[in-house]
Structure formats: C-alpha cells, structure tokens
Amino acid sequence: MKKLLIIKTGGSFEEFTREHDDFEHWTANGMGLSFEDCLCVDVRTGSSLPDPADIAGCVITGSHDMVTDDLPWIHTTARWLREALHADLPLLGICFGHQLMAHALGGKAGYHPDGLEIGTVDITLTEDGMADPLMGSLPSFFKAHVTHSQTALELPPNTTLLAASDHDPHQSFRIGLHAWGVQFHPEFDTSAIHFYVQQLQEKITDQGGDVANIRETVVETPESTSLLKRFAAYCLNS
C-alpha cells in the first residue's frame, strides 16, 4: 500500500517538542496512523521529495518560517507542489502549507494586514464548503486553533473558497478535485495552542490583543481535528 507523505516545513518550539513531539508526529497521530506508517521528508534539509505517483497523498505542515522568505527549500517545495497538483495527488496544506500552496499555484501569500490571529476561533463554511468532499463533513460553524501572521492574501485562479473566520476570509480553499489548504491547525490540541499564546504574549499585547481573553476562550476542537482522519481515509481508500 502506498504511504501518506508528510512534508515537514518547520517545527514547534524546542521547549515544547521535548515532551510533546513535533508537527509531523501530531499530524500522523491526527490521521490515526503511526509515524512509522507515514513517509516524512524534512525539506529544510534539502532532502528529495518522492515522485507523486509513489504516494497516496500528502500533508504539508506548518512552519515558523514565512512563505515570503527567500529560502531555496521553499522554492523547491513550491515546484514539487505544482507537479503534485498536475499529477492529481490529494494534498492538504496546513497554515504555512496552506499559504505555500496558494503561492505556488498562482495566488499570493504575505503578512495579514490586521496582524496576528491566535487562539481558538470560529470558522464558518461557505456554501461550497458545505458541499465539499472533505470540509462538507464538518458542521457549517465550528471551532479551530489558529496561530499565524501571514496568510493567503490572494487565492489562485479557479480556486473554490471553503471557509472563513472573522479575521481571515481565506481559512480554507480547494484547487481542483482534492488539493486543500486550511489556515487553521487541525493537528493542534489545547496544550499546544496555550503554549503558543504563552510564547507570543508580548506580540499579542503589542498588537492590541487580550492575552487573558484568548486563554479563557481556548477549547478542544474535535470537528477541526477530525479533518486529518478524513483526509487520510480519503487518500488511502480512493
């Protein structure tokens, strides 16, 4: 059986990962798979990505780097994503991965004009989202964890907008049959988002945010988290 690929584009804070593993492990766990049953490639090291024909699907993780950073691995990964889309490979980009997909496929990523979005937020599906083969399994209104300064400022041509939040109108999109981007983090649990709020509290305050209120409104996000298992099932059972 073909494996699911996890493209590691970054890692969480070392202080947190020492006890809680890292993005790629959270993603595998969220998909209901053991890490050993997935293929993980850390593109920051220059490791080669596989032929899209040799894998069942691909998740692109988040990162503390920015899509607008002029890093060789970002350009290389963007080229691979274009090849994967052309090969009709199911894709799921998370946060940085979502922005990288938008950038690679003809849109534009950059800093959100209203600054940082962080905490547990309300996501609303569009009509197209409610009919989508992946997102349509969710309630029309659900909660998700977010932490991002950049966003998909412009979506690629022929993109279907699937979901939005009050802060970000591009919380999810689909290109073609099954290439999805989600700005939110289905792989995060409450301990992860609380840690990010702690680490970024000075930035939150500087941008006029209420750290105490953000902490108080953090809740579990089972609907958002369920996307990972649904994506894995979609790839492995197609």
Alpha carbon distance 210, 92 (integer Å):
31
Whether 135 and 180 have beta carbons less than 8 Å apart is answered as yes
Nearest Cα to 39, choosing from 234, 143, 47? Answer: 47
Phi, psi of 163 (to 5 degrees): -160, 155
Residues annotated catalytic, as ranges:
95, 185, 187
Cβ neighbours, 10 Å, residue 220: 12
Question: CA 145, 150, 154 angle in degrees (round to 5)?
Answer: 110
Contacts of 166-175 spanning 24+ positions with Cβ under 8 A: 166/121, 166/122, 167/112, 167/114, 167/117, 167/121, 168/112, 168/117, 170/102, 171/123, 171/144, 172/98, 172/123, 172/129, 172/135, 173/98, 173/102, 174/128, 174/132, 174/134, 174/135, 175/85, 175/101, 175/105
Is there a contact between 72 and 21 (Cβ–Cβ < 8 Å)? no
Neighbouring C-alpha atoms within 13 Å toward the C-beta of 119:
19
